[in-house]
Structure 1
Amino acid sequence: MTISAHHAGVQLLNQAQGMANSAARNIHDASLPAAQSANSGASTNPGASANSGASSNTRALANPAMSQTSAAEHSASGQRPDPVNAAVDLLQAKLYNQAGANVLQRSNEMTGTLLNTKV
């Protein structure tokens, strides 16, 4: 069994990307007039819905008490996403990204130390 921090670092980076995509979509939908935001819920980008679902699932795992909804869920229910919450989610994605990069950097340093080389 291989024990590596690379996997955890990459997971954090992927989670941060999904959260940033979801937050950006919510900010975009909040800035549109009500008639246009209802149409934007049916996105032509198939990856957008997968990323927003993954990020909301990840946030639910990180904090089960937190109830987050995606832009598609907001538009389906007729509500508009709150731009303040989306901005907070975007800042949280930034912190997750920094944490993931830090984990990868430390893992690379440890691997270099174990191999007695300088990375």
Structure 2
Amino acid sequence: MRVLSLRSMKYSIYTTGCRSNQYDSWVMDEKLKEAGFTRCEPESADIVIINACTVTESAERDLRRYISKIRRTNNKAKIVLAGCHAQAYPEKNFGAHLMLGQKEKFEIVNYLHGAGTFVDEEIDGFL
């Protein structure tokens, strides 16, 4: 079983959609850096955060493609799906380990700390 300390976690953020989503991702990025997380490329991240849009017709297809890419290139990463998609379609998590809606995504550090640690087995809804 692999257990990771939250303090040493590396993360990546991928953003789709409007300028508002770009800003929201910047806010999450700042909060994570302040909490001691380190930003990196998705291939070496412990956590991959996807701030996803639902507005365009191709948004869901692009989201599924990106999640598949992460699973191929970094199958140990925990995937956090945040934003419009997570709020509008909570049943369509596409294998994400955590879903955060529009309000919840700004509390991402609290949600990650609330998980205690990420492990390779399911604990309280986290994988």
When normalised by structure 2's length, the TM-score is 0.26
Structure having the higher helix fraction is 1
Q: By percentage of residues, which structure has more strand?
A: 2
Structure with more contact order per residue of length (Cα contacts < 8 Å, sep ≥ 6)? 1
Rg comparison, structure with higher value: 1
Provide TM-score, normalisation by structure 1.
Answer: 0.27
